């Protein structure tokens, strides 16, 4: 990036977190690191603040947001938790698991957060900066990924500014995120069945029939780098930027040792680099479906769509 940014970026130390908390209290937007990607946070109990998220991202209003909470105690104010949902929260929170559960109508959250659905997506994140922020305010935080809608998710503060500079109030710089891909989303149904809506860093055993994905944000085209993407490439054509994996070495390599966890952490950084590169097309080496590899391939398919 060259020149001065319009949006302030501050270190995510105690002073930075205190400043972020004041901005959120007054209804502003703050980008904040989580263990998955950087989120664009606003107070979830304010319709005006939540509307600013949709406007800053250019996000379609039918695409609901994940509400971030400190823990299951806070989450239960906003949703009805079945025994199955409680068990999942106890096993995986704080962590990269989002639970879609029946919304409590009297919860006092902005309607736009759930895009009119009878359910709500809730997550207690593990990242120390997001946790400190949630502890500093007395409302939950609606937070989608901190990027313009449809484009590559941010895994660094610089990625956030490249996409949203001048459209948000503050970026808390907490370094590079570690999980790299967005949270696993599962819906917990009234009959106790668990359905995966989005693959992510955590693998959850699901029961019940996997029907058509209903998460409105699971659009076919997403994470778009702005140029054609060719998947399962063993080598690059002359005009392609190659994203490598394992034995396929690339211009940017997800993991030379073939480690899917490392690859997930580097996925969006490589896509950002490929988007900026002079080559007009992108090729990506095959990534196995093991573990978080499923989430990587899900995001790559959408980037290529």
Per-residue three-class SS string for 81-133: CCHHHHHHHHHHCCCCEEEEEEECHHHCCCHHHHCCCCEEEEECCCCHHHHHH
Stretch that binds ligand AMP, among 46-54, 210-218, 232-240, 251-259 (CB under 6 A): 210-218
Q: How many CB atoms lie within 10 A of CB 2?
A: 3
Task: Give min distance, CB of 96 to ligand AMP, in A.
Answer: 11
E strand spans, the chain: 8-11, 30-33, 38-43, 66-68, 97-102, 119-123, 141-142, 170-173, 184-188, 194-198, 229-230, 240-244, 252-253, 281-284
Contacts of residue 128, Cβ cutoff 8 Å, sequence gap at least 6:
174
Task: Give min distance, CB of 196 to ligand AMP, in A.
Answer: 11
Is 217 near ligand AMP (CB under 6 A)? yes
> Tokens 């209804």 identify what position?
27
Indicate the residue among 144 and 244 with the shorter CB distance to ligand AMP: 144
User: Helix, strand, or coil here: 29?
Assistant: coil
How many residues touch ligand AMP under the rule CB under 6 A: the total is 21
Cα distance between residue 185 and residue 196, in whole Å: 6
Is 145 near ligand AMP (CB under 6 A)? yes
From Mg ion, ligand AMP, none, interface partner of 114 (C-beta below 5 to 8 A by class): ligand AMP
From Mg ion, ligand AMP, none, interface partner of 65 (C-beta below 5 to 8 A by class): ligand AMP
Applying CB under 6 A, among 34, 46, 119, 297 the residue interacting with ligand AMP is 119
What x/- string results for residues 45 through 84 when contact with ligand AMP is judged by CB under 6 A? ------------------xxxx------------------
Indicate the residue among 145 and 163 with the shorter CB distance to Mg ion: 145
Cα distance between residue 128 and residue 132, in whole Å: 6
From ligand AMP, Mg ion, none, interface partner of 274 (C-beta below 5 to 8 A by class): none
Dihedrals φ, ψ of 91, to 5°?
A: -75, -30
Stretch that binds ligand AMP, among 8-16, 156-164, 215-223, 293-301 (CB under 6 A): 215-223
Binding site feature residues: 36, 59, 63, 68, 119, 123, 143, 145, 153, 183, 198, 223
* Residues contributing to the site for ligand AMP (CB under 6 A): 63-66, 100, 114, 117, 119-121, 144-145, 182, 185, 197-198, 214-218
């Amino acid at each position: 990036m060259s020149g001065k940014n319009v949006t302030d970026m501050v270190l995510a130390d105690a002073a930075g977190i205190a400043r972020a908390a004041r901005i959120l209290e007054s209804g502003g937007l703050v980008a904040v690191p989580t263990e998955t990607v950087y989120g664009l946070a606003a107070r979830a109990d304010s319709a005006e603040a939540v509307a600013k998220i949709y406007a800053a991202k250019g996000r379609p209003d039918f695409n609901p947001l994940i509400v971030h909470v400190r823990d299951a105690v806070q989450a239960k104010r906003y949703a009805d938790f079945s025994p199955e949902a409680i068990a999942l929260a106890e096993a995986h929170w704080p962590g990269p698991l989002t639970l879609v559960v029946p919304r409590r109508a009297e919860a006092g959250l902005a309607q736009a957060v759930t895009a009119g659905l009878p359910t709500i997506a809730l997550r207690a994140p593990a990242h120390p900066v997001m946790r400190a922020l949630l502890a500093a305010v007395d409302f939950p935080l609606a937070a989608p990924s901190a990027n313009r809608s449809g484009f590559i998710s941010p895994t660094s503060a610089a990625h956030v500014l490249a996409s949203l500079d001048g459209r948000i109030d503050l970026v808390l710089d907490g370094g590079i995120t570690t999980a790299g891909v967005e949270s696993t989303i599962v819906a917990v149904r009234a009959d106790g069945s668990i359905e995966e809506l989005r693959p992510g860093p955590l693998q959850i055993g699901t029961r019940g029939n996997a029907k058509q994905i209903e998460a409105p944000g699971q659009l076919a085209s997403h994470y778009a780098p702005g140029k054609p993407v060719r998947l399962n490439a063993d080598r690059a054509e002359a005009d392609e930027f190659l994203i490598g994996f394992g034995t396929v070495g690339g211009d940017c390599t997800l993991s030379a040792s073939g480690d899917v966890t490392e690859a997930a952490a580097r996925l969006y950084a490589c896509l950002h680099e490929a988007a900026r590169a002079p080559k007009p097309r992108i090729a990506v080496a095959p990534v196995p479906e093991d573990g978080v590899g499923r989430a990587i391939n899900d995001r790559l398919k959408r980037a290529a769509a």
